[in-house]
């Protein structure tokens, strides 16, 4: 396996990456335990794939009821071919989408469709990617001869998927969130989903327009200090500072795995080493 530890970034909105830091010290501790425990030349444990059920953070709503149980399946050779084809001359987003559409069997008993995929929160989509990885290759990510950027020692590392920092929704059924803006204003937002992600993907080469697209879709209203309510404010009318605040909250509030926030403490040099997890890492060079 040749780990590609840089691409793609799961949490990029419009070219800007926001770090949803969620207890990174816990992940570091878990990884450190593995590092020190694996020192005596033990053979890496091979997990038996097979756990194909996952509970989503938000799920889908049907007639007022939220359905969170999801079923994934192990990827096969024909999936691998389809995913490779999606990657030719395309973007990591298309590869991600293809893995999701092929690997997810059903959400709440409803067969996976593009419509269902569009309804899912970005964080639920990323959680499903993790479940598909688990069903296909098991729990542990193996890194071999990873160069430490601080001391240059080559490190063999086993990282369980469960060590990747994860953000939970405090209340899974809460769909609107308040964000405090400048001059006493309050923004009310919903969290971006797959359909929003798809819309942003369709806008090429202009990060500010991509930001406007996300904000236009996810900012439901702004309440000014004097109580005036502006429904669906055009994103271009928001101040730059408020736009950045809103975008940061949209990313930070999103539940799910924080693949970009993974790191481990290298005990040989005592330094913290970033270990961002990519699709290629999860699916072994896919
Ligand atoms: Zn080191």
Question: So what's the pLDDT on residue 20?
Answer: 29
Q: Nearest Cα to 68, choosing from 177, 191, 219, 169?
A: 169
The model's confidence at residue 168, banded by pLDDT at 50, 70 and 90, is very high
Cα 230 from Cα 209, distance rounded (Å): 21
Going from the Cα of 144 to the center of ligand 1, the distance in angstroms, rounded, reads 14
Going from the Cα of 36 to the center of ligand 1, the distance in angstroms, rounded, reads 14
Q: List pLDDT tens digits, range 170-222.
A: 998 899 999 999 999 999 999 999 999 999 988 988 899 999 999 999 999 99
Mean pLDDT across 260-269: 90
Going from the Cα of 10 to the center of ligand 1, the distance in angstroms, rounded, reads 26
Question: So what's the pLDDT on residue 205?
Answer: 83
Going from the Cα of 11 to the center of ligand 1, the distance in angstroms, rounded, reads 27
Question: So what's the pLDDT on residue 13?
Answer: 29
Q: List pLDDT tens digits, range 99-123.
A: 999 999 999 999 999 999 999 999 9
Q: What is the mean pLDDT of the chain?
A: 83
CA-to-CA dists, residue 217 to 49, 127, 231, 233, 243, angstroms: 38, 23, 12, 10, 13
Decide if pLDDT at 145 tops 60. Answer: yes
Q: Collect all residues with Cβ–Cβ distance below 8 Å to 56 and sequence separation of at least 6.
A: 68, 69, 70, 107, 120, 124, 127, 128
Cα 247 from Cα 93, distance rounded (Å): 19
Inter-residue contact 125 to 241 (CB < 8 Å) = no
> If DSSP codes are grouped into helix, strand and coil, which group holds residue 110?
strand
Q: List pLDDT tens digits, range 34-73.
A: 443 333 333 333 344 447 999 999 999 999 999 999 999 9
Query: Could you tell me the pTM of the whole model?
Result: 0.81
Going from the Cα of 279 to the center of ligand 1, the distance in angstroms, rounded, reads 25
Going from the Cα of 278 to the center of ligand 1, the distance in angstroms, rounded, reads 21
Q: Which two tokens stand for residue 187?
A: 């923004």
Going from the Cα of 146 to the center of ligand 1, the distance in angstroms, rounded, reads 10
Cα 72 from Cα 127, distance rounded (Å): 11
């Amino acid at each position: 396996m040749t780990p590609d530890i840089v691409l793609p970034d799961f949490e990029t909105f419009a070219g800007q990456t926001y770090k949803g830091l969620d207890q990174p010290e816990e992940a570091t501790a878990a990884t450190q335990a593995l590092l020190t425990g694996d020192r005596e030349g033990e053979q890496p444990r091979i997990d038996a794939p097979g756990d194909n059920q996952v509970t989503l953070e938000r799920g889908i709503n049907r007639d007022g009821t939220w359905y969170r149980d999801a079923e994934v399946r192990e990827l096969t050779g024909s999936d691998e071919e389809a995913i490779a084809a999606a990657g030719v001359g395309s973007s990591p987003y298309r590869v991600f989408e293809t893995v999701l559409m092929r690997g997810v069997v059903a959400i709440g008993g409803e067969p996976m469709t593009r419509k269902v995929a569009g309804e899912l929160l970005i964080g639920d989509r990323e959680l499903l990617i993790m479940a598909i990885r688990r069903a296909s290759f098991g729990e542990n990510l193996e890194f071999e001869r990873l160069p430490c950027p601080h001391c240059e020692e080559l490190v063999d590392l086993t990282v369980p998927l469960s060590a990747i920092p994860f953000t939970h929704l405090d209340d899974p059924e809460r769909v609107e969130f308040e964000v405090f803006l400048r001059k006493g204003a309050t923004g009310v937002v919903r969290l971006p989903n797959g359909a929003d992600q798809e819309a942003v993907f369709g806008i090429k080469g202009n990060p500010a327009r991509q930001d406007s697209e996300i904000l236009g879709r996810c900012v439901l209203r702004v309440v000014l200090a004097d109580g005036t309510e502006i429904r669906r404010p055009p994103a271009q009318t928001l101040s730059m500072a408020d736009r950045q605040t809103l975008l940061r909250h949209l990313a930070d509030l999103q539940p799910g795995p924080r693949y970009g926030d993974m790191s481990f403490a290298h005990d040989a040099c005592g330094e913290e080493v970033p270990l961002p997890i990519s699709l290629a890492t999860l699916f072994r060079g896919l």
